[in-house]
Chains A and B, each alone.
Chain A
Amino acid sequence: MISASAPASAADSGVVEAYGHRPLLFLAGFALFWLVISGFFALVAGIQLHAPAFAAGCSVMTHGRVVALAETAFVYGWLGGIGLALTLWILARLGGEPLRAANWIVAGAAFWNLGVALGLVGIAAGEATAIPLLELPLPVQPLMLVAYGAMAVAGVLAWTGRRRDVMFASHWYAVAALFLFPWLFSIAQVMLLWFPVRGTLQALVAGWYGQGLWTLWLAPLALTAAYYVVPKASGKVLPSYDFASLGFWVLLFVGAWTGGRHLIGGPVPAWIATIAIVAAATLLFHYAIVWVNLRHAHGAGVPLKFLGFGLSAYVLGGVLDALTAIRGVAEVTQFTYFSEAQHQLAFYGAISMMLVGAFYYALPRLTGRPWAWAGLVRAHLILTGIGVVALVIGLGGAGLVQGTDLNNPAVSFAEIAAHTEGWLLLATAANVILLLGNVLFLINFFKSALCPFYAAAVKSYRGEAALEAAR
Chain B
Amino acid sequence: MTPNDPTFQPAAQTDEELLNAHEALLAKQPDDRAHYKLMPLALLFFFSGLILFAATYLNRYSGHFDKTIYDENALPTDHNVEVKIDPVVFGKQLFASSGACVTCHQASGQGVPGTYPPLAGSEWVNGPDERVISIVLYGLQGTVHVTSKSFNAAVMPSFGPSGFNWSDEKIADVLTYVRQEWGNKASAVTADQVAAVRAKDGAHTAWTEPDLLQIK
Contact = CB atoms under 8 A, between A and B. Distances in A.
Nearest to A241: B25
B47 A285 contact: yes
Nearest to A96: B15
Interface in B1-39: 1, 3-16, 18-19, 21-23, 25-26, 28, 37, 39
A290 to B, nearest CB: 12
A2 B5 CA distance: 12
Decide if the interface of chain B is mainly helix, strand, loop or mixed: loop
A166 B23 contact: yes
A267 interface: yes
Interface stretch (A100-108, A110-118, A151-159, A298-306): A298-306
Interface string B91-102: 000000000000
A269 B11 contact: no
A271 B69 contact: yes
A197 interface: no
Contacts of A303: 9
A456 interface: no
A460 interface: no
Interface stretch (A43-51, A218-226, A344-352, A368-376): A368-376
B22 A169 contact: yes
Contacts, number: 154
Nearest to B21: A237
- Interface residue tally of chain B, by bracket? 35 or more
Contacts of A381: 6
A192 B69 CA distance: 25
A271 B43 CA distance: 28
Contacts of B71: 270
B65 A364 contact: no
Contacts of B58: 274-275, 278
A384 B33 CA distance: 49
Contacts of A289: 43
B22 A241 contact: yes
A372 B7 CA distance: 7
B74 interface: yes
Contact of A237 (B8, B22, B39, B61): B22
Given A278-B57, A292-B43, A374 B66 contact: no
Nearest to B56: A278
Given A269-B70, A271-B63, A243 B39 contact: yes
Nearest to A301: B9
A58 interface: no
A466 interface: no
A301 B63 CA distance: 51
Given A8-B12, A377-B7, A270 B50 contact: no
B69 to A, nearest CB: 5
Contact of B72 (A2, A169, A228, A270): A270
A269 B28 CA distance: 47
A236 B12 CA distance: 8
B82 to A, nearest CB: 23
A303 B58 CA distance: 41
A241 B1 contact: no
A282 B13 contact: no
B15 A301 contact: no
Given A232-B11, A302-B6, 4 more contacts: A241-B22, A281-B53, A282-B51, A292-B40
17 contacts: A168-B19, A231-B21, A236-B12, A237-B21, A240-B39, A242-B25, A242-B26, A269-B68, A270-B69, A278-B53, A281-B57, A282-B51, A284-B50, A292-B43, A300-B4, A303-B9, A361-B9
Interface of A: 2, 4-6, 8-9, 11-12, 93-94, 96, 164, 166, 168-169, 228, 231-238, 240-243, 267-271, 273-275, 277-278, 281-282, 284-285, 288-289, 292, 300-304, 327, 360-361, 364, 370-374, 377-378, 381
